[in-house]
Amino acid sequence: MQGQQTLKHILRVDEVPTLPEVIHRILAISGDPAASMRQLTEVVSQDLALTANVIRLVNSAYFGFSRPIHNIHQAGVLLGFQSIRSLSLGTSVIQQFSGPKGVDERSFWRHSLAVATVATGLCERGHHSALPVAFLSGLLTDLGVLLLALHNPEVAQEVYSTQDGEPVLLRERAAFGIDHATLGAELADHWHLGSTLTAGIGGHHLLPDEGLENQPELARILYLSEYLVAETHPLDGAPLAEPNAHQVAISLGWQEAQIEEVMANCARPLEQVDAFITVGASAS
């Protein structure tokens, strides 16, 4: 209830944005270990606009198939469950929230998709239980930044362009009375996305006095993912330094060589992030 009031205040409208129903259905399938590719592609195929956009992406140069892909089932066979889930969630979320003011839309989604990709890679390799929600949580992790920017573009611009060494969360709290991690978690809660995802988003930045060991696993995975993409996929205008990344990696049981392996496996999907921006995000 409190979260809903804060969201309404931030947005100054009666209704907070809705999340497309297809996202809930994809999440439900993701959390079911017995779910098949057929079930996933059937859910996606019921949303014609989403299907068209996924097919457009799959046929883009980034995937490099020699022959055109005509339907979602064919795409599923060629790309696999994980990729179809990522493409579908990415396309749905980006289109729902396009057009932010005060942050650069391209760099925002490029960054969010990269965090989602690496968080998924870490969960897969580390057998972390958050795998079914890893991609969506990465995608939504900084949604609070976008909402703050929608609420007040001028203030957001000032908050995110200031580089005085103060953690961005503290600057957000001073300017808006709330930070983007808390706001994102409130929105996830409002959408009933589940406690794992909500707590993960809410704890994805750590302040020096906020104990690392108290953060849920998904929050630490998102934190580490932020750190790993900070150079290649930065969130322009909102530098989010992650000084405790080494400590976080150790707390998750990760060694450097394993993280390097995950990043090597993520290289191709990270290249495909640009396909979303050039192909997917421009479709409507």
Contact residues toward Fe ion (CB under 5 A) are 142, 226
Decide whether 54 or 113 has the Cβ nearer to Fe ion: 113
CA pair distance 129, 137, nearest whole angstrom: 13
Looking from the CA of 239 toward its CB, the CA atoms found within 13 Å total 11
Decide whether 41 or 225 has the Cβ nearer to Fe ion: 225
Decide whether 186 or 226 has the Cβ nearer to Fe ion: 226
Decide whether 47 or 226 has the Cβ nearer to Fe ion: 226
Kindly write down the DSSP assignment for every residue of 93-145, as one continuous string.
Answer: HHHHT---SSS-HHHHHHHHHHHHHHHHHHHHHTT-TTHHHHHHHHHHTTHHH
Looking from the CA of 265 toward its CB, the CA atoms found within 13 Å total 15
What is the chain's length? 284
Please report how close the Cβ of residue 244 comes to Fe ion at its closest, in angstroms: 14
Decide whether 57 or 224 has the Cβ nearer to Fe ion: 224
C-beta of residue 172 within 8 angstroms of C-beta of residue 148? yes
Task: Look at residue 160 and give its three-state secondary structure.
Answer: helix
Which residue has 């979303």 as its token pair? 276
CB closest to Fe ion, residue no:
142
Please report how close the Cβ of residue 142 comes to Fe ion at its closest, in angstroms: 4
Please report how close the Cβ of residue 172 comes to Fe ion at its closest, in angstroms: 10
Q: Which residues are within 8 A (CB) of 255 and not within 5 positions of it... i.e. 6 or more apart? A: 249
Please report how close the Cβ of residue 43 comes to Fe ion at its closest, in angstroms: 28
CA pair distance 162, 171, nearest whole angstrom: 9
Decide whether 76 or 203 has the Cβ nearer to Fe ion: 203
Please report how close the Cβ of residue 220 comes to Fe ion at its closest, in angstroms: 13
Please report how close the Cβ of residue 184 comes to Fe ion at its closest, in angstroms: 8
